[in-house]
Structure 1
Amino acid sequence: MKKSAWLPAVIAPVVVAGAIAAPALANAADTPLAGSHPTAADVIASVAKSSDAQYSGKLSQTSDLGLPELPTGSGGSSLEGNASDALSMLTQSHTARVYVDGASKQRIQVTQQLAEQDLVRNGSDVWTWDSKQREATHVTLPKDTATSLEHGTTTPADIAKQAIDAITPSTSVSKPTSTTVAGQRAWQIVLTPKSSDTLVGRVELAVDQQTGLPLRATVLAKGQSDPAFQVGYTSLSYGAPASRLFDFTPPSDAKVTTKDLSDAEHHAGHRGHAGDRGAAPTTTGTGWATIAELPAGSADTSSLDADGSALLGQVTKAVDGGRAIQTSLVSVYLTDDGRVLAGAVPVSSLVAAAK
């Protein structure tokens, strides 16, 4: 991993997913929601029924977190690649094409100026492709995996799943209201945290009335009326995409990396140690105020070159025991001993949790 790769590894997941939580919603309805007057529980439950949906669409993502807009890539410096791309995801708008044929076939295409990034899943085979770097990765997943795929963007379904899975009693849920997204009639529910310790003001989810497919997710920071983060479909058509879209062969001149995870379940006992750079974060707090912490060594900034150090100085500020970023929605704290703490909370909460 590049020394600069710590930044996207921490910031991007927290901004788009890890800061979102929702209450337990039970008593699911088994009938379509169109034309009825569903409860919020009915709407949330309908999302699970969309896992076998077949559709194609165009996705738009916007972010307004109070960060300055930064260039992508920097001519061979340590910012080139992952870190720069992750920052651009937080400061710029992006669009993607999405093709889905049930739970095991998906393709996401993120097109940038003179470049394209693809993620293609066909059963247990997953390919990622970066046309600018001429690099491809082939991952073999465990059988019957339900892994959700993300590559350079996040779909409304990803955020809705986080909201459903993070079950807490600390959220107010509105009654559904009718809206339209990408030409589809949808039910919108609003999730509002009761906690005063979070930066999140509310999360708005729009779910297709007929299929249960999440069509748009909007996250607003506390005290703000404009979205800090929003991702939603601008066009959508149901039906199976062409099967060829889920086949991928890398160009002959591509650098290809392979990863076989087909027997990953047999090695579960070897993951999560503090010294493992791939270790899962530990968490403190609950609900909307949850703080994730990566162990010492996760944010080794000592080897950053001049450009990398300049970027670090531009987007972070010195605080007690390290450096920190606080956006309107999420904070990240890099301790002097190399730990990384992040959450939808003020920096002061991260500094206190690190002691």
Structure 2
Amino acid sequence: MAPIDSDDSTTAGGGEEPRAGRRRAARYVVPVAVMGVAAATIGLVPALADSGDPDLPEVTAQQLIEKIARSDVQQLSGTVRISTDLGLPDLGGLESGLMSGVSGGPGAGGGDGSAADPSAKLTELVSGTHTLRVAADGPDRQKLSLLESAAEYSLIHDGKDVWGYDSESNEVYHSTARTGAERPAEQVPATPKDFAEQALDAVDDTTSVTVDGTAQVAGRDAYRLVIKPRQSGSTVGVISVAVDAKTGMPLKFTLTPSSGGAAVVDAGFTKVSFAKPDASTFDFTPPKGAKVTEGDEKAAAPERNPKAEGDLAEGLDRLEVIGEGWNTIAAFDTGGEGLPPASAGGDAGGALGGFLGSFGDQVKGDFGSGTVFKTRLVNALVTEDGKVYAGAVTKDALVKAADAAQ
């Protein structure tokens, strides 16, 4: 089927002002949080191939966005394959340890955490290839299982209880489910529809939104919704969302960077059913002999540094937003110095600065000098005087923003 609409980003449906309609739609794109807890950034397999070219009634981009907004899928089960290629350097597993430390999971403050703690376990999804089994029965019952070569990690939300189980270590993590805005899954993408919500929330006058044909995903007919920044300077090239023609639920999300190459994120269902899952799907009892860690009884946090926390908090309070749309840059002052210089001899700070600096590009400008840390999607400039500029923009855009701030 040929592309349906060349550029419908400025066409409203039903007499409604387009941008307001899209923003209202974005708030309701995710009717069900597939998990009560999810990862900071999800990764999956190499790009999933669509199949077929079903003949579907023509729709405009506005109509398709509204269809997503009206989607009310409460029950589903299926398999999701995810691939993330951020272009991060291979740190030999160090990145997982760093992420665990940041999240407060195992490895943070002394290794007293549980291997089944989702705040640490799911950070493994930040890169590589993964297959997930998901199930949902309304807002209070969800299950996600991360399938590994010789083990399985499951996260189950059943009413007031959240259970994490790591079969490899035979450890169990239990906590009380949070509600409303406290739910991590409402803040972090975990499925194609979660990613789609965040993408649609960014739609404004700086964005082109079109319907570009049809596809089959997981055996279901779908429309292709294509989102592109109109501005130059963004690292986001094209976002494609496959929307189920019958239910309006996003079945696949693909983000390709402006630099080209493989997708940065490619998340899609390979199997999906909208039938009510069996109630036993969400049952969980800790296996015999398993070590159980209660979330409310975790070891005390590591000793705090009030001065460092205060400096950082003060810097974040002065957060500035530079630019608009897809070229938005967040800028703040850490209240300290930038990376320690690598020339600091045997000094530990100098060694750390040299190590981190080796993963970035040294840059200079009217602002002075600094280091740009790059991924294929998000880049950050840390200046020698402790200022940080970050966004889904190119290195040149960061340097330009830092120069303009002088």
Q: TM-score, normalised to structure 2's length? A: 0.62
Aligned to 2:57: 36
Aligned to 1:265: none
Aligned to 1:106: 142
- C-alpha deviation, 1:111, in angstroms: 2.9
Which range moves more in the overlay, 103-112 or 39-48? 103-112
- C-alpha deviation, 1:156, in angstroms: 0.8
Whole-angstrom CA distance in 2 between matches of 1:280 and 1:106: 39
Whole-angstrom CA distance in 2 between matches of 1:294 and 1:313: 20
Asked whether the 8 Å contact 2:189–2:195 carries over to 1, the reply is: no
1:326 is the counterpart of 2:374? yes
Whole-angstrom CA distance in 1 between matches of 2:337 and 2:131: 30
After TM superposition, the structure 1 = structure 2 runs for residues 1-355 of structure 1, keeping only pairs within 5 Å, are: 24=19, 26=21, 35-72=56-93, 79=98, 81=100, 89-123=125-159, 125-128=161-164, 134=171, 136=173, 138-142=175-179, 147=183, 149=185, 154-224=190-260, 226-248=262-284, 253-258=291-296, 275=313, 283-293=321-331, 296=334, 312-313=356-357, 315-320=359-364, 321-335=369-383, 340-353=388-401, 355=405
- C-alpha deviation, 1:225, in angstroms: 5.3
Asked whether the 8 Å contact 2:144–2:154 carries over to 1, the reply is: yes
Asked whether the 8 Å contact 1:148–1:158 carries over to 2, the reply is: no
Q: Which of the pair has the greater relative contact order for Cα pairs under 8 Å at 6+ separation? A: 1
Could you tell me which amino acid in structure 1 is paired with residue 79 of structure 2? K
Whole-angstrom CA distance in 2 between matches of 1:298 and 1:101: 48
Whole-angstrom CA distance in 1 between matches of 2:242 and 2:66: 13
Whole-angstrom CA distance in 1 between matches of 2:98 and 2:321: 28
* Alpha carbons of structure 1 residues 353 and 49: separation in structure 2 relative to 1, 3 Å: same
Whole-angstrom CA distance in 1 between matches of 2:317 and 2:268: 31
- C-alpha deviation, 1:203, in angstroms: 0.6
Could you tell me which amino acid in structure 2 is paired with residue 55 of structure 1? L
Could you tell me which amino acid in structure 2 is paired with residue 72 of structure 1? G
Asked whether the 8 Å contact 2:316–2:332 carries over to 1, the reply is: no
Aligned residues: 316
Could you tell me which amino acid in structure 1 is paired with residue 334 of structure 2? A
* Alpha carbons of structure 1 residues 135 and 217: separation in structure 2 relative to 1, 3 Å: same
> 2:242 aligns to what SS in structure 1?
strand
> 2:321 aligns to what SS in structure 1?
strand
Structure 1 residue runs of 5 or longer lacking an equivalent are 1-20, 260-272
Whole-angstrom CA distance in 1 between matches of 2:83 and 2:337: 27
Could you tell me which amino acid in structure 2 is paired with residue 56 of structure 1? S
Whole-angstrom CA distance in 2 between matches of 1:92 and 1:103: 29
- C-alpha deviation, 1:135, in angstroms: 6.4
Question: Which structure would you say has the larger Rg?
Answer: 2
> 2:263 aligns to what SS in structure 1?
coil
